[in-house]
A and B are shown apart, each in its own frame.
Chain A
Amino acid sequence: MKKKEAINKQKIKDERLRRTRLYVPGNNPAMVQNASIYGADSLIFDLEDSIPLNEKDAARYLVRNALQNLDFSKIEVTVRINSLETEYCLKDLEAIIPTKPDGILLPKTELLEDVLTIDKELARIEKENNLPIGKIQIMPIIESALGVLNIEKIASGPRVTVIGLGGEDLTADIGAKRTKSGKELEYIASRIILACAANKIQAIDTVFTDINDPQGLFEIAKKAIEIGFQGKSIIHPSQVEPVHRAFMPTEIEIAKAEKIVNAYKDSIKRGLGVISVDGRMIDLPVVIRSERILKRAKAGLATDE
């Protein structure tokens, strides 16, 4: 029984499936009100880069009203607010938090202090609105060299469950060329994935900007999954399908994962401290990965082609 407790402790706090996080421009009603129909696991209503400065207020009220009045059923609903150094950041929070989004994406996160500041503001607004404290998640986006260097601290911050890689600004910041293959981001991606894994949170890959290249997206998503990303941010509804296809495990992978998970359940039922499959010892991270594979398979089978 001691072992079982240990197992649970190692599990990530938030196990939501986030194969796709769809960016939705926050000032476009046609896109905002239909955002939930395309099958993305998670929605990001954007108040930041897709909104010109003179429409920041309009987008803020539109997204606020949408979150208040529209039914997004079980899909995760998040909002990308404007970054801390802007005058809009606090206004965004004041308007959006009372609508109880699942999470807030914080762009240009560079320091643990950024997360702490947002955490404090969230707690204050939650309190003012009689909301439970600490339920709304913080999802930093790393898009600068400094952010990358502080990633281990940021990943350990309060409410942080997901970290996104913002590839466009990041490549500019380090002076690299943004390529379609994304090779300039390989080290950074690995470092973010590592920091997230150590903190049992999720790392989400950057966007793929060519919306007319589903095959290219599929291939790059495959690579992202191989190195440990648990999802990809997308910018168009048509990108849901190729990414979900990339996340679909093969039949062999599914069979193997089922075996491992069953063996794990069996070992718990029988009070065994050791898990073995086909005579080989299995450790916990392998079980967790297998559970993840099965979750992806289940989601994929529900909607596949």
Chain B
Amino acid sequence: MKFNTNTANRKIPTELHGRKLIPFSGKGKGPYRKRKYAPKIRKVSASDNKVLKSLRKAIKKSELTDGETISFHHHFRNGDFLLNIVCHEIAKMGLKDIRLVPSSIQGVHKEILPYLEKGIITSINCGTSGTIADAISHGKMEGLLTIRSHGGRARSIENGDVEIDVAFIASPTSDIYGNINGVYGEYACGSLGYAFPDAQFANHVIAVTNNLVPFPNTPISISQEHVDTVVELDKPIGDPSGIVSTTLRITRDPKGLKIARNCIEVLKASGLLKDGFSYQSGAGGTTLAATNYLREYMISKKIKGSFAMGGATKSLVKMLEDGLFKTILDVQSFDTYAVNSLLNNLNHIEIGASQYANPFTSGCVVNLLDTIILGGTEVDVNFNVNTSTESDGRIMWGMGGHQDTAEGAKLTIIAVPLLRGRIPIIVDDVISINSPGENIDVVVTERGMAINPNSPYYSILKRNKKLDIKSIDELKKIAEDLISGKPKKPKTTDRIVAMIEYRDGSVLDVIYQVED
């Protein structure tokens, strides 16, 4: 196998599974196509009926064949049944060599494992966690896992890198003509943003719902002109308790709280935290705590922000309601409070994955972010961030919008503990790279923070005496002292099981099969 070295200093094969790979060469420098991909034209006439009661009939009508690509969204998160239901059906129908392109694979999808082993599903494109990720690490899938960010996924669908033959859209509510929203019904999940590119660019779209309503269903998130079939299933397509949480837990761990507080100290010191400020954070315990500290500070200084981007959570919506932000732009809603807000608050806006983060559009929202607080499984001394692999080499997670927001935001903060158990988080070299160090400004840990010397915020933050600033090498050294050395490097075979794309489609890194 021939290799190129990319600018993140990773060896990338020139070709993999028949695809020529373009090595990552820095942000904004990637390859791009001149025209968007165009899906097939379909025609539905006045006499046609879109509604079917049988999933199998719908799949047959889509003319899905061996070797083709199907897609799903993950707005049902760990409460999603549809991906499993469809894969079972496809297996029963004797289809094989299917490429799976969901926006994420979660723990609940472990049921499809036999189909990876039997060659029914041969490759997957998405962030993957849980059992399936582990199986791929151990070489149980024939083809390749391609890990993309949310923006990268939207880009790959819109520029034709990925041609979706059939998109299955789990629909909390749909009318008979395929107008879908996520705010009504037992399976309400809020925003359907990740499914927007699928609906617009798939050759065939099947909406699957347990809540079929008369035409017209409003509000319309995904509209009828994209939807070919509406399947009304008796079987539930999801589990409400896995879709939205009633309360997301803010960390009570004092270590997490300290990290959260220090993130806000960085923000204060950066000078960005003033009227018109824009912000995004995740729904993890530490970032939720940071959002709450931000709230207290904005109230105390009477700062009015412009927009917050979701992962919409109750904390963020409260800030909207209290006038701390003018608008929430919501690509996914995490809790029932956020779902209700999306339904009722005119300033809570649903946006699609492309508007959120696709680099090859006429401008996505991440470009307008002042700051983002992100996590990671590892950070190295070059500020590269790993979100997908654990330090034993196994794939455990996807990356969400990490790459997109890290590149887009003016100030990107990585909030991580220095250790998880005995595993160091700041290391010489990450196992695999999801976000290149050039996009990272600050790494905040419970034992101090490191500022990327190449960050435009380096000098302003460095001047601030209140921040506990260390070099990234010092942080690494503190971790190594605590754990008495360095962890053993994972043993891998020479078979590549996964590839991490940058959001522009170039290749950041590859992941090898682990040895046991």
Contact = CB atoms under 8 A, between A and B. Distances in A.
Verify whether A and B have any Cβ pair under 8 Å.
yes
Interface of A: 33-34, 37-38, 70-71, 236-238, 302-304
Interface string B480-516: 0110000000000000000000000000000000000
B253 to A, nearest CB: 9
A58 B254 CA distance: 24
Given A34-B255, A38-B258, A302-B466, 19 more contacts: A33-B482, A34-B254, A34-B446, A37-B255, A37-B258, A37-B446, A37-B447, A38-B254, A70-B482, A71-B481, A236-B254, A237-B254, A237-B257, A237-B258, A238-B254, A238-B257, A302-B465, A303-B466, A304-B466
Nearest to A36: B447
11 contacts: A33-B482, A34-B255, A37-B255, A37-B258, A37-B447, A38-B254, A238-B254, A238-B257, A302-B465, A302-B466, A304-B466
A37 B258 CA distance: 8
Contacts of A236: 254
B12 to A, nearest CB: 39
A303 B481 CA distance: 25
Contacts of A71: 481
A245 B321 CA distance: 30
Interface string B429-461: 000000000000000001100000000000000
A273 to B, nearest CB: 38
Please classify how large the interface on chain B is, using the bins under 10, 10 to 19, 20 to 34, 35 or more: 10 to 19
Among B254, B257, B465, B482, the most chain A Cβ lie within 10 Å of the Cβ of B254
Contacts of B465: 302
A62 to B, nearest CB: 15
Nearest to B468: A303
Contacts of A37: 255, 258, 446-447
Nearest to B419: A33
Contacts of B255: 34, 37
Contacts, number: 22
A50 B381 CA distance: 40
Interface in B55-96: none
B496 to A, nearest CB: 38
A74 B193 CA distance: 51
The 8 nearest A-B residue pairs measured at CB? A237-B254, A37-B446, A34-B255, A37-B447, A37-B258, A238-B254, A38-B254, A38-B258
B331 to A, nearest CB: 33
Interface in B173-214: none
A70 B446 CA distance: 16
Interface string B251-262: 000110110000
Contacts of A304: 466
Interface in B238-269: 254-255, 257-258
Contacts of A238: 254, 257
A194 B211 CA distance: 76
A304 B254 CA distance: 18
A38 B256 CA distance: 11
Contacts of B254: 34, 38, 236-238
Among A34, A71, A236, A303, the most chain B Cβ lie within 10 Å of the Cβ of A34
A304 B447 CA distance: 17
A96 B108 CA distance: 50
A8 B150 CA distance: 67
A299 to B, nearest CB: 12
Among B257, B258, B465, the most chain A Cβ lie within 10 Å of the Cβ of B258
A34 B481 CA distance: 14
B303 to A, nearest CB: 15
A304 B466 CA distance: 8
B479 to A, nearest CB: 12
A304 B482 CA distance: 28
Contacts of B258: 37-38, 237
Nearest to A70: B482
A238 B257 CA distance: 9
A304 to B, nearest CB: 7
A234 B446 CA distance: 20
Interface string B124-147: 000000000000000000000000
A168 B2 CA distance: 72
A33 B447 CA distance: 12
Interface string B92-121: 000000000000000000000000000000
Nearest to B465: A302
Contacts of B446: 34, 37
B19 to A, nearest CB: 46
A71 B257 CA distance: 22
Nearest to A69: B484
A251 B255 CA distance: 31
Contacts of B447: 37
Contacts of B481: 71
B273 to A, nearest CB: 13
A106 to B, nearest CB: 28
B426 to A, nearest CB: 15
Nearest to A238: B254
B252 to A, nearest CB: 9
A195 B257 CA distance: 39
Contacts of A34: 254-255, 446
Contacts of A303: 466
Among A33, A37, A238, A304, the most chain B Cβ lie within 10 Å of the Cβ of A37
